[in-house]
Amino acid sequence: MDRRRLLTLVVATALGVLGGSPASAGTINIMPSKDNTLYEYDPAEGDHSNGAGFHFFAGENGMGELRRGVLAFDVAGTIPAGSTITAVSLTMNMSMTPTGARTVELHKLLADWGEGTSHAPMGEGDGASATPNDATWRHRFFDSVFWTTQGGDFSATVSASQSVGGVGQYTWSSAQMVADAQSWLDNPPSNLAGWC
């Protein structure tokens, strides 16, 4: 998938008017604050990442190697505290795909992670050697802070799923995504994690 990712949130914001509690509603679009690809670790190749690349990858490549895209949005820095998020959708563009449809799930990440300066060559599918603070299959921040579980620490709960087939745009939306985004707003330190 390429870097065109957009999180759309519908928000009701309390205005705090004396003697009442009128609210205004609006739609806010947020681009990712960070994104990266976790490339399944291969001891012969070392830790790979793609923090500064143009694409990120999710699923299994043609050689059976796993890829996991991670992305985060600055919800708490964009939406006023005390707001209620009533709808969330994530739109991503599939720019390269294997044959056949696959179900792509979103899971809420449970720990912060980094986006270094690694930039994979050519089609970016194999990644590049990780640079300081990159997220990798083994590291939250290369090369000193590790995930508890290789491949990332994320909730077993599926936040949303979408069947993804040919090249084009796809949208994920669910009540669980609303709950995830509201938790990021209500607890700003958790806002650093995002989805994988």
Tens-place pLDDT, residues 114-164 = 999 999 998 898 999 999 999 999 999 999 999 999 999 999 999 999 999
**CB atoms closer than 10 angstroms to residue 106:** 25
β-pair partners for 34: 72
Q: What is residue 14's predicted lDDT score, i.e. its pLDDT?
A: 45
Residue type, 152: G
- For residue 61, what pLDDT band results from cuts at 50, 70 and 90? confident
Q: Is the pLDDT of residue 177 over 80?
A: yes
pLDDT tens, 158-167?
A: 999 999 988 8
C-alpha 25: how far from chain center: 25
| pTM (2 d.p.) | 0.88
> 14 or 108: which carries more pLDDT confidence?
108
User: Which residues are CB-contacts of 140 (< 8 A; sequence separation ≥ 6)?
Assistant: 111, 112, 113, 114, 146, 147, 153
Positive or negative, the Cα torsion across 78, 84, 89, 90? positive
| Average model confidence (pLDDT) across the chain | 87
C-alpha span between 190 and 187 (Å, rounded):
6
187 near 98, Cβ under 8 Å? no
> 67 or 191: which carries more pLDDT confidence?
67
Q: What is residue 113's predicted lDDT score, i.e. its pLDDT?
A: 96
C-alpha span between 45 and 42 (Å, rounded):
5
Q: What is residue 1's predicted lDDT score, i.e. its pLDDT?
A: 55
Q: What is residue 152's predicted lDDT score, i.e. its pLDDT?
A: 96
Positive or negative, the Cα torsion across 95, 96, 102, 103? negative
C-alpha span between 151 and 129 (Å, rounded):
16
Compute the average pLDDT of residues 12-33.
62
